[in-house]
Structures are given as structure tokens and as C-alpha cells.
Chain A
């Protein structure tokens, strides 16, 4: 079995406003979707619905895992997605090494790889001394260590320099090539081939 995501007639209402209505989308292993649209168009809401945080007003989200299990319940989907929020979830008082070791224990997915993200020299450095770009790298390293196959990325390029952006694109490309799926809400193009989904607007 290969990974698949099936979004079926999804409707999202926030504060009495319909953000999107009857949105349907089927993605299979290797797919990349760039979510675009103005602020407040529902990009983050869509990601949060897929991850099971938010309950849609109508519609169903199904994830078919590589073992063939169909996950429709929000709590089950939550255990299947890899999340990169627009905040970095970096603790100022903990070192880079401590943070990665904590998250790998919490997710129970073995040791974290520091090297590909240029974090090896920073292992002993507390979060408060990291630059915005370094914090993002830490968040990316954490995302890869979770071994989750469906990536949901909220503004992954924010606060990154050119080298960092290349790194994100490379990670996403590698992830999709390995049979994963990635959906990214972005303002600027990620530089990865795939679909573009426009939310909101006229």
C-alpha cells in the first residue's frame, strides 16, 4: 500500500464566515501541494483540520497509511501527520541537543540527525542564542525525526535566508521522493514541483 490523502467535500466555517466550501482533493504518495491565498483565506485552518485539531463544518478527511489503515477520526489522523507550524516550538532555556532528544523520546522514533541541518556544532547551544534561521532548522530536524509520512507545513520559509530556503525545498523534495506527501501553506513558491491550490479570493 502507498500513502494517500483524501479530502472529501470539506467545508470550514470560522466565526460565522465560510472560509471554503465543498473542497475536495485526492493526493497520493509523492504529491506536493502548495496552498496559496491571502491571509485569513483558511490555509492554516485547512492544515489544522487535516491534522485533527479542528473539526470541519462538513466533509471528511481520510488518510490511508502505508500499512493500509484508513484514518478518518481526528485523533487518529493526529498520530499520522508531521507538523511544522509557523512557530518554531523552540525552548529558549534548553540546548539544541536537549530539545531534539526530548522530542525524539516523546515521539519514540529513535535518535535525531543533526548533521543535514547544520545543527551539529550547535548541539550544546541553548535556544535563546539561536538565530531565526537556526530555530527553523531545528524545527525541520524535529519534523524529519518524527518519521511521519504526511507533512503539513505552515509558512515553512518564514524567517529563512536563501540557504535555509534551499534546505527546506530539498527536505520536502526528498520526503516526497521517498513516498511521502507534503502540503505547504506558503506566500512565496517553495521551488518544489507539484500542485497549487488557491484558497479564498474572488
Chain B
């Protein structure tokens, strides 16, 4: 089959990489979570600070996933690469889940910090819009029957969203300046206590690897499903 020529090599390579990636993810998650639970409580936030270790990495992966999805969409549109189509299609639900995770942990963190589960804080609102964007991309992909056309259409939307996201973020920041500053990226080095920095870094890496593991599993599943569908239709692979 023409459309599977490219993914075939991916299946071989990813099959070899995936077990190692999964083990590394499990180890890093265990180490990261142990560290996160063993650091001393924050002098202001108390134990609530530990939510940061599951919140910040989720937010990071949510954004990284969008960037990767938009990149895959562009590659798929320009070079009509079937593998990029699969990558784009499977990244959207994963990104949405990490965005939702970021929102939920953010609001759990917000309860002791702000005294409410939800405030219309700049970053939370941006992330809510990001979630809607993810859901819109998935909804568009599901609403179009033709497989290739569905991926390409949601890919165009993903790229438009990628151009728009910085503007959305800027506009929401303009709209409210309620939030504490961006502590990790502030000028003059991180303002976060070094004792928290290490567990956070490990957890960020663990989440990143978790995303890639899940992404590869989903891509492999999608390719196999497609192969099965082709077999059913044509009787040959």
C-alpha cells in the first residue's frame, strides 16, 4: 500500500524504542514523586506546594504537545506525509488531557492559594482557551468523515491556532494581571527555592517522557487500526 510505505519504518523503530522509553518514564515518575513528597513544606504554602510538582509539568507538556501537533500538521500539509498525519491526529487528545490535568491541578492548587477553586486568572483562562482549542481540533477531526480530509482540516485549524495562541495569551494577560509573576522564567534566574527545583525538573522530564511514550503507543495503534481497515477492504496489505 502506498499510504503505509512511510509508517512501516516508524513501526520498526518505535517498537525498539518504546520499552526503554516506558521504563525510563516509570523510573523518573517514581523518583520524581518520591522527591516531591519528601521535600519540606513551603513556609508560606505548606504542603499545598506539592501540587506544583504535578501541575507545572502538566502545563509544560500541554504547551509542548500543541507545538509538536502544529509542527506535525505543517509537515503533513506541506509534504503530505502519512506519518505526520497520524502524529497530528494522535497528539490532539493527549494534549487535551494534559491541558485538563493542568487546569484541574491548577484549580486544586488555587483553592488554598486564592481561597477559590476558580479565579479568572490570566494563566488559568489562557489554559481554558487552549483546552477549547484542543477540543475544537478534535471535534473538527471527528465531524469530517473522510479520514485524510479530517486530519488535514484539523491540521489547518491547529496551525491557525498556533499563530493565534501567543496573541490569545497576550490578550488574556492584558485582561487581567492578577497572577503572581512567571516564577520559573523570571529575569535574574529562578526565584523558586532550589530545594523545590530538583523534584520539579525530574517531574518535568518524567511528564515529557510520559507524553512521548503515550504518543508513540497511540500512533502505533492508529497505524495498526488503519492497516486492519485496509485489509478488510482490499484483502491485501
Contact = CB atoms under 8 A, between A and B. Distances in A.
Contact flag (A, B; Cβ within 8 A) = yes
A16 B2 CA distance: 9
B17 to A, nearest CB: 28
Interface in B1-19: 1-3
B146 A17 contact: no
A122 interface: no
A16 B146 contact: no
Given A15-B147, A16-B1, 14 more contacts: A13-B2, A13-B3, A15-B146, A15-B233, A16-B3, A16-B229, A16-B230, A16-B233, A16-B234, A17-B233, A17-B234, A18-B234, A57-B2, A58-B2
A56 to B, nearest CB: 11
Contacts of A57: 2
Interface in A4-60: 13, 15-18, 57-58
Interface residues of A, number: 7
Interface string A52-79: 0000011000000000000000000000
What are the 9 tightest A-B residue pairs by CB atom distance, in nearest-first order? A16-B230, A16-B233, A57-B2, A17-B233, A16-B234, A13-B2, A16-B229, A17-B234, A15-B146
Interface in B134-167: 146-147
Nearest to A14: B146
5 contacts: A13-B3, A15-B146, A16-B233, A17-B233, A17-B234
A58 B3 CA distance: 12
Interface of B: 1-3, 146-147, 229-230, 233-234
A58 B146 CA distance: 20
Nearest to B4: A16
Contacts of A16: 1, 3, 229-230, 233-234
Nearest to A11: B2
Contacts of A13: 2-3
A152 B141 CA distance: 32
A28 B233 CA distance: 38
A74 to B, nearest CB: 13
A84 B137 CA distance: 35
Nearest to B1: A16
Contacts of B230: 16
Interface string A99-131: 000000000000000000000000000000000
A50 B114 CA distance: 63
Contacts of B146: 15
B6 to A, nearest CB: 14
A15 B147 CA distance: 8
A86 B229 CA distance: 31
Q: Which of A15, A18, A58 has the most CB of B within 10 A?
A: A15
A18 B230 CA distance: 11
A17 B3 CA distance: 11
Nearest to A17: B233
Contacts of B2: 13, 57-58
Contacts of A18: 234
Contacts of A15: 146-147, 233
A58 B147 CA distance: 20
Nearest to B80: A55
A57 B3 CA distance: 9
B232 to A, nearest CB: 9
Q: Name which of B2, B230, B234 has the most chain A CB atoms within 10 A of its CB.
A: B2
User: Which of A13, A16, A17 has most B Cβ within 10 Å?
Assistant: A16
A58 B2 CA distance: 10
Contacts of B1: 16
A15 B232 CA distance: 12
Contacts of A17: 233-234
Nearest to A13: B2
Contacts of A58: 2
